[in-house]
Chains A and B, each alone.
Chain A
């Protein structure tokens, strides 16, 4: 197929996804995709992602399409520069297929908090695809694109990957440039990848990884070179953290994990139980640190320099307050208020100070587990399969707990992935592998071996 044929076929699939009411896309057009194809045709031969259409979560800036972050406050905003990941994808020959819907400013676990409407789960339209990268995950799951870019602050790629039955890879903090990723929680934010398979996600990650002079948190490491998947897992030790398999774990999720652990054992891996005792504090820790950083990062949206501006009759503060009050949706407003509260005089030590200390303990637990000889940790990605739309929107804390198994990894800055294990009552169930800092290549190779021995379409019976 020529690049133009790929572009036309992608447009047809995007149109089908839109007509099904997935609401996974925010901006795409035939003209933009054909322009992408013409650009690819003009590149020299080669390119690791030549003619691969890729969806971008709409918190990654591009100069051709609007970047909304799923928020009214960025209505009409078109970035004057491209994100580094966009430059790298394009240089490798990829076609930017569309901007994908998301929870507003990546704050959410269900993609119900977008100003542009909720994203529907491709396999069950009354359910959520997870979030906040729900649009990206739904587009991969619906076979619109083979891979998509998302972002994680507290599990926003692995959790929707698990719900939608696709692969989601969160690299180590520092592996991929965030230049052009709209900031949410800067000590946590990671550009991440969704793919139909481990190999597909890895191919994209290898292209976007690497040092970027525009992002001082990127680390100077040798290029991420995909390793072949081994035939056996002999000599590999997999740790099962007991705190991630609680008694009230959803029976379908437990059955799928049991099946995967049996496969790991059959493949020759040694399975040991480990303990990560402070992981139970990860969600409260995260919901202090992330809102605190968000309150600071989102201070820039004030109607002065870009984005939407409220019409007010008053001074500049009236303009700020009205613009922000009208422009931000309910979840973003809640997080700005929580973040401002925990940083305010008199409460800083009681909340932020404690959260910093808890974060160190959570990271120390992982360090100890890996120091004990464990190569990878295996856990369920989510406590349940995809839940119904509206089920958790009335209680913010119930929504936050959907990330209980994924957000400890973000606090520790480790690489991790979710891969589809099996189904429970027809809904995908994902399993999570967690590795040491910067050991993505080995994690992905071992995940590819496990992937070959799973049947993600099969029902896991408790």
Chain B
């Protein structure tokens, strides 16, 4: 299964990652190398309905549903690129529905 430059550009858009036209050929070749390598898992046959393997405890512990604010050494305003009146400021939304 090979990945086309068009698919790489599409995946980059899904991942919200700017990729220039100039970078696309090399990136496509690298992705094909990686995807071609991991495709060897097909040798193991169809996975069926394999349960995801969980390395940790079998059951998640539940804790009381209490608000326990962490003690922060500095407020969001100190680490945000732009922060005004309690809000993180970003440019206007624009065409969010366009891939």
Contact = CB atoms under 8 A, between A and B. Distances in A.
Indicate, yes or no, whether A interacts with B.
yes
Interface of A: 63, 77-82, 173-174, 187-188, 213, 216-217, 219-220, 278, 281, 284-285, 287-288, 295, 299, 302-309, 312, 314-322, 324-326, 328, 333-334, 336-338, 340-342, 344, 349-351, 353-361, 363, 395-397, 400, 411-413
A320 B44 contact: no
A360 B34 contact: no
Contacts of B1: 350
Given A302-B16, A337-B8, A413 B92 contact: no
Given A334-B30, A360-B50, A413 B79 contact: no
A81 B38 contact: no
Nearest to A412: B55
20 contacts: A63-B73, A77-B79, A78-B74, A79-B73, A80-B78, A81-B72, A216-B61, A216-B63, A281-B41, A304-B80, A305-B88, A309-B82, A314-B91, A321-B18, A324-B15, A337-B11, A338-B34, A342-B35, A355-B41, A360-B51
A428 to B, nearest CB: 28
A396 B37 CA distance: 10
Given A334-B27, A358-B44, A217 B56 contact: yes
Interface in B60-93: 60-61, 63, 70-76, 78-82, 88, 90-93
Interface in B4-52: 7-8, 11-19, 27, 30-31, 33-35, 37-44, 47-48, 50-52
Nearest to A213: B63
Contacts of A397: 33-34, 37
A413 B17 contact: no
Given A281-B40, A334-B31, A400-B37, 11 more contacts: A80-B75, A82-B73, A174-B55, A287-B37, A305-B76, A312-B91, A316-B90, A316-B96, A337-B15, A341-B3, A363-B53
B16 A324 contact: yes
A287 B38 contact: yes
Contacts of A320: 16
A353 B45 CA distance: 11
The binding surface of chain B is classed by DSSP as: loop
A285 B27 CA distance: 21
B33 A413 contact: no
Nearest to A214: B70
B34 to A, nearest CB: 5
A326 B51 contact: no
Interface residues of B, number: 60
A340 B56 contact: no
In the complex, the 7 A-B pairs of residues with the closest C-beta atoms, listed nearest first: A315-B94, A413-B55, A325-B18, A357-B47, A357-B50, A309-B81, A80-B72
Interface centre among B17, B80, B81 (most CB of A within 10 A): B17
Contacts of A287: 34, 37-38
Given A219-B57, A325-B19, A318 B94 contact: yes
A157 B65 CA distance: 36
A274 B68 CA distance: 49
A317 B37 contact: no
> Could you say which of B44, B70, B80, B92 has the most chain A C-beta atoms within 10 Å of its C-beta?
B44
Nearest to B73: A63
A344 B11 contact: yes
B42 A354 contact: yes
B50 A306 contact: no
A81 B53 contact: no
Contact of A319 (B27, B57, B90): B90
Q: Most B CB atoms within 10 A — which of A174, A324, A358? A: A358
Contacts of A308: 81
Contacts of A325: 17-19
Contacts of B90: 303-304, 316, 319
Given A63-B73, A358-B41, A413 B31 contact: no
Contacts of B94: 314-318
A158 B83 CA distance: 42
Given A284-B40, A321-B18, A360-B51, A306 B79 contact: yes
A413 B56 contact: yes
Contacts of B91: 312, 314-316, 318-319
Contacts of B27: 333-334, 337
A325 B15 CA distance: 10
